[in-house]
């Protein structure tokens, strides 16, 4: 049986994935509103395909991480998740407090901040004691007290 931290990680992470998917779809529908003026037409025409590829690629990586963390207890996947969280945090903080080349709409920035919080919660859950045992391969048996009742 999977520990409570992993079950909670799974639920929050799947919300994180859904929010990311919604964000990607919203961004694709509004791509022209945050592209810089004077962008070459061929680049502008290729942007929807590039964004679709990005959404699909991100979804595949997220689902692979979910599977290997929540279902297989792969410690390598946990550390890949942590590294991606750190890189994402740097990116979100740069977009909030830096001087980005492309200024994103407030909706995209807000969704990025929400995803960062969800990602941080998920990362913290992966280091709770019951989750640490999960990644060491120590599987806890389920509650057998009501097996024959």
pTM for the whole structure? 0.80
Looking at the domain assignment, is residue 57 inside a domain? yes
Tell me what pLDDT residue 148 has.
56
- Could you tell me the residue range of the domain that residue 124 belongs to? 4-31+47-135
Looking at the domain assignment, is residue 41 inside a domain? no
Distance in angstroms (rounded) separating the CA atoms of residues 64 and 56: 12
Looking at the domain assignment, is residue 149 inside a domain? no
pLDDT, greater one: 1 or 98: 1
Looking at the domain assignment, is residue 140 inside a domain? no
142-146 mean pLDDT: 52
Residues 59-117: tens digit of each pLDDT: 999 999 999 999 999 999 999 999 999 998 998 888 777 766 666 677 777 888 899 99
How many CB atoms are closer than 10 A to CB 71? Answer: 12
Looking at the domain assignment, is residue 141 inside a domain? no
Res. 144: pLDDT tops 60: no
Write out the DSSP string of 7-50.
HHHHHHHHHHHHHHHHHHHHHHHTGGGGSPTT--HHHHHHHHHH
Kindly indicate the confidence band of residue 140, based on its pLDDT and cuts at 50, 70 and 90.
low
Looking at the domain assignment, is residue 144 inside a domain? no
Reported as half-sphere exposure (CB side, CA atoms, 13 A), residue 53 has a value of 5
Distance in angstroms (rounded) separating the CA atoms of residues 8 and 122: 8
Domain count along the chain: 1
How many CB atoms are closer than 10 A to CB 53? Answer: 10
Looking at the domain assignment, is residue 8 inside a domain? yes
Looking at the domain assignment, is residue 142 inside a domain? no
Res. 146: pLDDT tops 60: no
């Amino acid at each position: 049986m999977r520990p409570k931290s992993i079950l909670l990680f799974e639920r929050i992470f799947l919300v994180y994935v859904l929010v990311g998917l919604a964000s990607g779809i919203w961004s694709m529908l509004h791509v022209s509103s945050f592209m810089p003026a004077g962008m070459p037409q061929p680049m502008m025409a290729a942007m929807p395909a590039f964004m679709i590829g990005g959404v699909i690629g991100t979804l595949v990586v997220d689902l692979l991480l979910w599977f290997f963390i929540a279902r297989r207890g792969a410690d390598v996947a946990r550390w890949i998740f942590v590294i991606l969280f750190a890189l994402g945090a740097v990116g979100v903080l740069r977009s909030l407090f830096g001087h980005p080349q492309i200024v994103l709409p407030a909706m995209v920035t807000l969704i990025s901040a929400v995803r960062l919080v969800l990602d941080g919660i998920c990362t913290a859950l992966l280091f709770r004691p019951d989750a640490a045992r999960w990644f060491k391969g120590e599987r806890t048996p389920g509650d057998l007290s009501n097996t024959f009742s």
